[in-house]
């Protein structure tokens, strides 16, 4: 019997994905300092890590999209249509749907999303 919920498994995978680049950066700093005498200031490491995490996430999403497109093409399939929003993460679509749920019938006006 599983003792972890699906949410805990999802969050732990995401945490490990974000922890991996940080570990690589810290290990590289340690090796450069101890073996080669090259000291990298902490502010450079913090800035690099803060910039590196979004870059790793973007590369992961783009790589997954390429993989899905190639797999669909190999199977002769189509990809699921995506909602096109104006804001990052389609948060404007979420706000619009919440507003429509509060002020009208459920699912009304959702045809324009695709």
Question: Residue 21: what pLDDT?
Answer: 75
Residue 81's pLDDT band (cuts 50, 70, 90): confident
Q: Which residue has the higher pLDDT, 114 or 35?
A: 35
- For 92: left if phi > 0, alpha if psi spans -120 to 50, otherwise beta; the answer is alpha
Average pLDDT over residues 76-86: 88
Average pLDDT over residues 8-20: 83
Cβ partners under 8 Å of residue 88, min gap 6: none
pTM above 0.75, yes or no: no
């Amino acid at each position: 019997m599983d003792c972890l919920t699906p949410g805990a498994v999802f969050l732990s995978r995401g945490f490990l994905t974000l922890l991996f680049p940080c570990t690589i950066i810290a290990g590289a700093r340690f090796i450069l300092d101890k073996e080669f005498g090259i000291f990298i200031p902490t502010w450079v490491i913090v800035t690099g890590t803060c910039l590196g995490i979004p870059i790793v996430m973007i590369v992961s999403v783009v790589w997954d999209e390429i993989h899905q497109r190639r797999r669909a093409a190999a199977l002769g399939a189509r990809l699921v249509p995506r909602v096109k929003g104006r804001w990052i993460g389609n948060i404007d679509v979420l706000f619009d749907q919440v507003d429509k749920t509060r002020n009208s019938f459920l699912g009304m006006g959702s045809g324009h999303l695709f």
